[in-house]
A and B are shown apart, each in its own frame.
Chain A
Amino acid sequence: MVNDITSSNVLYAKSIIKDKPCIKSIINVCFLTATSPITISQIVAILTDNNDMEITQEKIQDIINELSKEYHNLGMELVELQNGYKARTQPRYQKYLNKIHKITPPRYSKAIMETLAIVAYKQPVTRGEIEKLRGVSVSGNAIQTLLEREWINIVGTKDMPGRPELLGTTIKFLEDFGISSIDELPAISHAPSMETIII
């Protein structure tokens, strides 16, 4: 029935008739080709240039939410990061992607993960502090791997003899681990047996 056509479909139909690009499609191609996250205000900015329609942040947000649902049905998901939105594949399809792209998924050793955890929670830290916390004197390889992954970087030097380098996590770390900001790291204070000791 004609009356069943929703208003958004009408808009979509109109945009096709007028040969005007559909906003959702614009946003879609932006996300698919982006190498870094895209913010809502960026989208508003590119649309206001050549469009007479009134574009508000809320409207874009609505369209992004719609798009996000459509992505979900297509094996992808749109994640909100500290500095915008980015599209990624759903983890459940990773095994197929590994096959078709002949990917050997990386495996991260305990040493690497512990080192990363120390940098994430105690940053900025020096190599010496990492070694002291782990009780092991060789963290070089782990740090090297993390630097190569661009999950950590050198954020400065500590004002002490030898001026050791201070390590911190990067935006890429937050992105790759799906953490919206460093304050959003899961708390470790409620880790098992975390009573503070008073002696």
Chain B
Amino acid sequence: MNNSIDYATRYSSYSLPENLPKDLYIDPNALLVFLELFEGPLDLLLYLIRKQNLDILNIPIAEITNQYMSYIDAMQILNINLAAEYLSMAATLITIKTKLMLPILIVDETDTEIDADPRAALINQLIEYEKIKYASDMLDKREIANRDYLWVNTEITICHTHPQPNINDLKRLWQKIFLKTVAPKMIYNTQYKYMSIDECIENILQKLSPANPQNRFSNLLMSNYTISILVAYFVALLELGKRGVVELYTYDDIDNDIIIRLRGVDGE
């Protein structure tokens, strides 16, 4: 049977004496590795059944329970972190054996609910689990991307970068703002209002969002800003650029303005 071969290869590196684990004369380290190989109680049970070529549909519960319990004992001796499900399975096995030993009481002959074999649920579970193990082996044997092969993907560098503003662009931007906003009302401007650079940064970021990641710098300014606020905004712009929060770029045809764009937002 294919399956028993699978098990044989899987466990072949561990020479297990037949009466194991009652006498733990096997190197405890090897035993430890061996016992840790099991994925859970179902895996261990399947191993015990397959190792002895038992009929999965007609499991001798008493025998299997004994063997299962000796493995559990071994695990406890070796201080393997024994998961609760192993113990739960032991309880299930004992329950099944108990039920099998009880005489079947037929209270009412017309009772349609005839007691099924108490092993049925466990057997179904084992069969389902064995299918999964088989499917899992099948998947593992396939060629898997990045393990057995790589997708061919010549990296293409699509250049989305825009012309970066140089010092002259920034100078022209400042001149433009200054001439447009401040110069006309400079003489009679008596209103004193200050804004910190942090406030300006916050204001700028509030006006940018992933949905609307870019704007012209001059669009972020109000016409009633005083020169100190404008200076603060300008420094805030430089600061954001320096910190890499935004990208700054400019085009020839945008009238000495600078476009400020949130970094890390795709698309144009």
Give the complex CA separation of A144 and B89 in angstroms: 26
Give the complex CA separation of A188 and B135 in angstroms: 6
- Judge if A178 is at the interface, Cβ distance under 8 Å: yes
Give the complex CA separation of A176 and B140 in angstroms: 12
- Judge if A117 is at the interface, Cβ distance under 8 Å: yes
Which residues does chain B contribute within 8 Å of A87, judged by CB atoms?
Answer: 151-152
**Residue among A94, A133, A136, A137 with the highest chain B CB neighbour number at 10 A:** A136
- Judge if B85 is at the interface, Cβ distance under 8 Å: yes
Which residues does chain B contribute within 8 Å of A179, judged by CB atoms?
Answer: 142
- Judge if B128 is at the interface, Cβ distance under 8 Å: yes
Verify A136–B83 contact, CB threshold 8 A. yes
User: Given A76-B152, A89-B149, A175-B145, are A193 and B136 neighbors across the interface (CB < 8 Å)?
Assistant: no
Which chain B residue has the least Cβ–Cβ distance from A32? B154
Q: What is the distance, in angstroms, from B158's C-beta to the closest C-beta of chain A?
A: 10
Verify A134–B129 contact, CB threshold 8 A. yes
Across the interface, B136 reaches (CB within 8 A) one of A88, A117, A138, namely: A117
Which residues does chain B contribute within 8 Å of A189, judged by CB atoms?
Answer: 131
Which residues does chain B contribute within 8 Å of A199, judged by CB atoms?
Answer: 116-117, 120
How many chain A residues touch B (CB < 8 A): the figure is: 50
- Judge if A162 is at the interface, Cβ distance under 8 Å: no
Give the complex CA separation of A120 and B132 in angstroms: 10
Give the complex CA separation of A158 and B151 in angstroms: 35
Query: In the complex, which residues 37-75 of chain B have their Cβ closer than 8 Å to any Cβ of chain A?
Result: 39-43, 56-57
Verify A89–B57 contact, CB threshold 8 A. no
Q: What is the distance, in angstroms, from B82's C-beta to the closest C-beta of chain A?
A: 13
Verify A195–B57 contact, CB threshold 8 A. yes
Give the complex CA separation of A53 and B116 in angstroms: 72
Verify B151–A192 contact, CB threshold 8 A. no
* Interface size grouping (class) on chain B: 35 or more
Which chain B residue has the least Cβ–Cβ distance from A192? B3
- Judge if A161 is at the interface, Cβ distance under 8 Å: no
Across the interface, B123 reaches (CB within 8 A) one of A108, A113, A197, namely: A197
Chain A proximity mask over B144-172: 1 for CB below 8 Å, otherwise 0:
11111111111010000000000000000
Across the interface, A88 reaches (CB within 8 A) one of B43, B135, B150, namely: B150
User: Given A135-B125, A191-B130, are A177 and B152 neighbors across the interface (CB < 8 Å)?
Assistant: no
User: Given A120-B135, A191-B130, A194-B131, are A113 and B142 neighbors across the interface (CB < 8 Å)?
Assistant: no
- Judge if A97 is at the interface, Cβ distance under 8 Å: yes
- Judge if B139 is at the interface, Cβ distance under 8 Å: yes
Verify B39–A114 contact, CB threshold 8 A. yes
**Interface residues in chain B, defined as those with a beta carbon under 8 Å from any beta carbon in chain A:** 1-3, 39-43, 56-57, 83-85, 89, 116-117, 120, 123-125, 127-140, 142-154, 156
7 nearest interchain CB pairs? A136-B40, A135-B42, A176-B145, A191-B134, A192-B3, A117-B135, A87-B152
Seed contacts A117-B136, A138-B83, A177-B142; 9 additional CB < 8 Å A-B pairs: A94-B147, A110-B39, A121-B135, A134-B132, A135-B41, A135-B125, A186-B135, A191-B134, A192-B3
Can you offer 25 A-B residue contacts whose CB atoms are under 8 A?
A: A33-B154, A33-B156, A35-B153, A103-B146, A107-B147, A108-B140, A108-B147, A113-B139, A114-B132, A117-B132, A117-B138, A133-B125, A133-B128, A133-B129, A134-B40, A134-B132, A136-B42, A177-B142, A177-B143, A177-B145, A185-B135, A186-B135, A193-B56, A193-B130, A195-B57
